[in-house]
Amino acid sequence: MSSRLSIALAAGDGIGPEIMDATLELFKAAGVMNHADFIPVEMGAAVFAKGNSRGMSDHAIRTTEECGILFKGPMETPKGGGGKSINVTARKLWNAYANFRTFKTLPGVETVYSKAGIFIDMCVVRENIEDTYGGVEHRLSNDMIQCKRLISAPGCDAVHRFAFQTARRLGIKKAACVHKANIMKMTDGLFLDRFKAAGRDFPEIEQSDVIVDALCMNLVVKPQQYQMLVLPNLQGDIVSDLCAGLVGGLGFAPSANIGNHISIFEAVHGTAPDIAGRGIANPTSLILSGIMMLRHMGLTVPAANIENALLATLESGVRTGDFGDKTKPSLGTRDFTNAIVERLGNTPKTVAAVEVPAANSKLPERAPTPTGQQVIRTFKNVVTHVGGCDIYLDTPLSPLALAEEMQRVCQDTPFKLTLISNRGTQVWPTGSVYTECVDYYRVRFELKENVPPGSFGQSRCVALMDKVSEAFTICSYELLRTFDGVKGYSLAQGQ
């Protein structure tokens, strides 16, 4: 490897600077600085305090884009106000679409599983951009707030491809798609379908799927049965913290956010304000994330050396105050790091050592900088027809009174009223008196029987909506379309 690497470096807030200093000290001792420059950038609380609602300076954005790698400590998310989570902003801004976390039983980090002789070695690939993390939220009525869950075919394809390629590269033999497609048949159904489609190119990897609630139980009862889990964003967020708990907590779980152009490596725990500035924070999560980053950049020799030294340190019983044998004295961040530095060149005795390669591996090719925002499409040449629309109304009327009003509105149109639902449950034409309603309804209009599908476009739905709006507040509307003859909308519960 000849050319030097550049890494944008954001130390973070709270314990961030303490654990970042420790990690860089270790990197220096392992020879990482012979190959890489770390360029400090401003991100976090201080930037929010200056009124910048993104929490990152323009220089930080430019530098990260030039480097292609961001190494970051934990950052405080402002509570309330306009400031958004930097982690979420960074992943979305730079299309770091796959979150990759590994969970491994570590020597010296005792858990109920390690005590029972159960060795955990698994990873989670989480879709990182879509789902409810789109942050598309609206107050629709006095009493109803909506968060849109967006799942796209290209978004699924990108994360599934990454998962299978990673499994192949790391020799992982089994991958399971985790979902809730029994309830969210269309969104999670798409996630699962695209997993199966992507998996066809990886026949050597055993593929399965599991519903997320069953998975949670399985993980607690028999975690060692899984090697790789692939999940949509929100479910992945929750399950990856569960997995961290299996191996000792967030302090032992590294995290990488991988994109085609820019990747972000970070500690997964927060800023630990309760211990910040005391020099007692555990740097292991950031060190493990740093090891992932070094491998990603092709610095496989220092990555292996640091990992072996860390394992040797942990197995010797050296610990910070948050883990390990509490009857033995604990070390502060700096002394803990020095203990790892002293063991560089050593290998662990109680667990398998990581093989140190003869030379660093080839730097992965960086994709050319896009000249503009790309539009990626999975399904093309699909024949679509408009068959009606769902109109969402803010009204305190009863279902029956609302139905009368809506039938009157659609009298002289090509549409008939077919359904009224409240919170997703059908309340008209049939329903249960036990269904309690709130002030936000969906009314569904479909083409009358004598109107052939496809004979009307969207404009007739807009005209209908116009009529409805004369007497009602319309919160939103969705077209009812078929795609190659298949309904592109769900039925109401009880329909």
Residues that bind ligand NAD (CB under 6 A): 15, 19, 74-77, 87, 250-251, 266, 268-275, 281-282, 322
- Measured from the CB of residue 87, what is the shortest distance to ligand NAD in angstroms? 5
Helix (H) / strand (E) element for 462: namely helix 458-469
CB nearer to ligand NAD: give 330 or 413: 330
| H helix runs in 222-283, sequence order | 233-246
CB nearer to ligand NAD: give 31 or 245: 245
- Measured from the CB of residue 321, what is the shortest distance to ligand NAD in angstroms? 7
- Measured from the CB of residue 437, what is the shortest distance to ligand NAD in angstroms? 36
- Measured from the CB of residue 27, what is the shortest distance to ligand NAD in angstroms? 17
Q: Hey, what are 6's tokens? A: 């550049």
CB nearer to ligand NAD: give 274 or 355: 274
Residue 371 CA to residue 32 CA, distance in Å, equals 33
- Measured from the CB of residue 77, what is the shortest distance to ligand NAD in angstroms? 4
- Measured from the CB of residue 78, what is the shortest distance to ligand NAD in angstroms? 8
- In 429-489, DSSP assigns E strands to 440-447, 473-483, 486-487
Residue 411 CA to residue 300 CA, distance in Å, equals 71
Kind of pairing between the strands at 254-258 and 384-394: unpaired
CB nearer to ligand NAD: give 245 or 453: 245
Contact between 446 and 415 (Cβ < 8 Å): yes
Burial of 105 (0-12, 13-18, 19+ CB in 10 A): buried
Kind of pairing between the strands at 415-422 and 254-258: unpaired
Residue 179 DSSP code: E
CB nearer to ligand NAD: give 90 or 198: 90
- Measured from the CB of residue 386, what is the shortest distance to ligand NAD in angstroms? 44
Residue 295 CA to residue 280 CA, distance in Å, equals 28
CB nearer to ligand NAD: give 274 or 365: 274
Contact between 321 and 330 (Cβ < 8 Å): yes
Contact between 228 and 167 (Cβ < 8 Å): yes
Residue 343 CA to residue 317 CA, distance in Å, equals 13
CB nearer to ligand NAD: give 249 or 302: 249
